[in-house]
C-alpha cells in the first residue's frame, strides 16, 4: 500500500511501525477468512482489510476519528489470527495498537462508554478493588447494557480451591519469578497453585515477584498507553530487583504474550525500551517450562483443547499445550474452527457483549459436537467467558496436569461420583 505520512509524523516510533506494516499490506484478503468478526458479520469493515483502510486514513489525517472508524476498530478482538495468516507478514498489532492510542487521545466517547472503560481500567487490574466490587456484583447485574454485563462477568466465577496432597518434590534447580496478575488472582487463584505444583515437580520453584501487579495488557488494549507503561515499569523494576530468578512467569497466556512484546510499548524511549526488551527476553510461559512427564490420571477424560488466541497467534505454543495434555494421559479433542476466537479477548466481552456472546455460542456449539468431559484452556479470559450452565466444565490445563501427576482434584471432578 502507498502511504502519505508526513516526515514529522514518522518521528513517532509507533506511527513509523504502523507505516511500515501498511506498506507491506497487499490487500490480498487472505486474512478475512481468519477474522472472527468478519466471519460472523460478513462486513468488510469488520475484517482486517477494511479496518486497515480506515486506520490508515485516520492516522495519516491525524484528526479526530469518525464514529464509524471507532465502531469498527472497537469491534476488533486483537486475536491476531490475521497476522498468523498474512503471507506478507503484516504485523497487524502495530496498526491496531497505534490506532487505539489515537482514538483514546483524540476521540470523545459518549459518557456511558467513558465510564465503563474507566471502571475496567481502574477495577480489573487491581485485585483488592475487584474483590470489593464482587460484593456489589449481585446488585450490578440489575444495571442495563454493558454495565450489567460487567457485573455479571464479575459474579460468574467462584473460587474453586482444592486441598492438594503433600508429595515429595525434587531438588530445586531453577528459580522463576511469578507475577501476581490481576483478575485471575481473584477469579481463579487455584490456577497459580496448580502451576506451582506442576513446576515444583520439575525442580522449578516460583518466587512471588514483590512489587509487581497487573502486566498492563488490559489497559494497553484500551489505548491507555500511559497506564500500560506505568504497570509495565512496576513489573520491570520488580524483576530487576529480584534475586537469583532466571525468568519471569505469568500464567495467563494473554498476559504472557503481551510481556514478550513489551519492548514495543516503550518504542523510542531511550531508557525504558532497552529495559523492557531485557525483561521481555526473560518472560516465559507455563508451556515453555512444563516439560512432559509420564502421568496416568485416575480417570481418562475426553478433553476439548481450547487454545487461546494468544497461545496460537502470539506465543505459537498451541501444539505444546495439546502435546502436554496428551502426554499426561488425556484424550485430546480438536475443536472445529479452533482458530476463531471464543469472544473473551480481555475486556472485549464487556465492551462488545453481543458479538462476544455470538462467538461464545459458536465455540460452544463446536465443542458440544465433541461430547467432551471437560474443556481445557490456558487463559483466564477464555476460561471465565466459556464457563456457564450451558457448557461443559472449563479448567486451566495446569489443573489437569497437576491432577494427573497426583495433585489436587479439579472441582468439577470432586462433585461427580467416580465410576466403579
Quick one: CATH architecture of 302-414? 3-Layer(aba) Sandwich (3.40)
Q: How far apart are the first and last CA of the chain?
A: 65
Task: Check residue 165 and report its DSSP letter.
Answer: P
User: pLDDT, tens digit, for every residue of 368-409?
Assistant: 999 999 999 999 999 999 999 999 999 999 999 999 998 888
Write out the three cell numbers for 389: 450452565
Write out the three cell numbers for 273: 525500551
Domain ranges of the chain: 9-106, 111-156, 174-289, 302-414
Q: Cell 472441582 maps to which residue? A: 411
User: pLDDT, tens digit, for every residue of 274-325?
Assistant: 999 999 999 999 999 998 877 667 678 999 999 999 999 999 999 999 999 9
Q: How many C-beta neighbours within 10 Å does residue 316 have? A: 11
DSSP letter string over 343-369?
S-TTTHHHHSHHHHHHHHHHHHHHHHT
User: pLDDT, tens digit, for every residue of 22-81?
Assistant: 999 999 999 999 999 999 999 999 999 999 999 999 999 998 999 999 999 999 999 999
pTM to 2 decimals? 0.90
Q: E strands within 256-369?
A: 283-284, 302-305, 331-334
**For the chain, counts of helices (H) and of strands (E):** 24, 8
* Short-list 420, 410, 419, CA closest to 387: 410
Quick one: CATH architecture of 9-106? Orthogonal Bundle (1.10)
Amino acid at each position: 500500500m502507498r502511504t502519505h505520512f508526513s516526515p514529522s509524523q514518522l518521528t513517532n516510533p509507533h506511527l513509523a511501525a504502523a507505516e511500515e506494516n501498511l506498506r507491506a499490506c497487499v490487500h490480498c484478503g487472505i486474512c478475512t477468512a481468519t477474522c472472527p468478526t468478519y466471519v460472523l458479520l460478513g462486513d468488510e469493515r469488520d475484517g482486517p482489510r477494511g479496518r486497515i483502510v480506515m486506520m490508515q486514513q485516520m492516522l495519516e489525517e491525524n484528526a479526530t476519528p469518525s464514529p464509524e472508524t471507532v465502531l469498527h476498530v472497537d469491534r476488533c478482538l486483537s486475536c491476531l489470527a490475521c497476522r498468523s495468516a498474512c503471507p506478507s507478514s503484516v504485523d497487524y498489532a502495530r496498526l491496531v495498537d497505534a490506532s487505539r492510542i489515537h482514538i483514546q487521545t483524540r476521540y470523545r466517547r459518549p459518557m456511558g462508554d467513558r465510564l465503563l472503560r474507566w471502571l475496567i481500567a481502574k477495577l480489573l487490574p487491581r485485585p483488592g478493588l475487584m474483590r470489593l466490587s464482587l460484593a456489589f456484583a449481585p446488585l450490578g447485574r440489575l444495571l442495563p447494557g454493558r454495565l450489567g454485563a460487567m457485573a455479571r462477568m464479575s459474579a460468574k466465577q467462584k473460587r474453586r480451591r482444592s486441598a492438594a496432597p503433600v508429595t515429595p518434590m525434587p531438588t530445586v534447580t531453577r528459580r522463576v519469578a511469578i507475577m501476581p496478575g490481576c483478575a485471575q488472582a481473584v477469579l481463579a487463584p487455584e490456577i497459580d497453585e496448580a502451576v506451582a505444583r506442576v513446576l515444583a515437580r520439575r525442580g522449578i520453584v516460583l518466587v512471588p515477584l514483590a512489587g509487581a501487579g497487573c502486566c498492563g495488557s488490559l489497559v494497553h488494549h484500551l489505548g491507555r498507553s500511559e497506564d500500560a507503561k506505568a504497570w509495565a515499569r512496576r513489573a520491570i523494576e520488580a524483576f530487576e530487583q529480584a534475586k537469583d530468578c532466571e525468568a519471569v512467569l505469568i500464567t495467563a497466556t494473554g498476559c504472557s504474550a503481551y510481556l514478550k512484546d513489551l519492548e514495543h510499548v516503550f518504542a523510542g524511549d531511550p531508557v525504558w525500551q532497552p529495559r523492557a526488551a531485557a525483561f521481555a527476553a526473560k518472560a516465559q510461559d507455563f508451556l515453555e517450562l512444563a516439560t512432559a512427564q509420564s502421568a496416568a490420571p485416575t480417570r481418562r477424560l475426553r478433553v476439548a483443547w481450547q487454545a487461546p488466541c494468544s497461545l496460537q497467534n502470539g506465543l505459537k505454543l498451541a501444539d505444546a499445550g495439546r502435546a502436554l495434555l496428551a502426554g499426561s494421559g488425556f484424550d485430546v479433542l480438536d475443536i472445529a474452527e479452533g482458530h476463531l476466537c471464543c469472544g473473551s479477548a480481555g475486556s472485549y466481552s464487556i465492551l462488545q457483549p453481543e458479538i462476544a456472546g455470538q462467538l461464545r455460542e459458536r465455540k460452544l456449539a463446536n465443542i458440544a459436537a465433541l461430547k467432551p468431559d471437560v474443556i481445557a484452556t490456558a487463559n483466564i479470559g477464555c476460561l471465565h467467558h466459556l464457563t456457564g450452565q450451558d457448557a461443559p466444565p472449563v479448567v486451566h490445563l495446569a489443573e489437569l496436569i497437576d491432577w494427573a501427576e497426583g495433585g489436587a482434584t479439579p472441582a468439577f471432578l470432586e462433585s461427580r461420583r467416580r465410576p466403579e
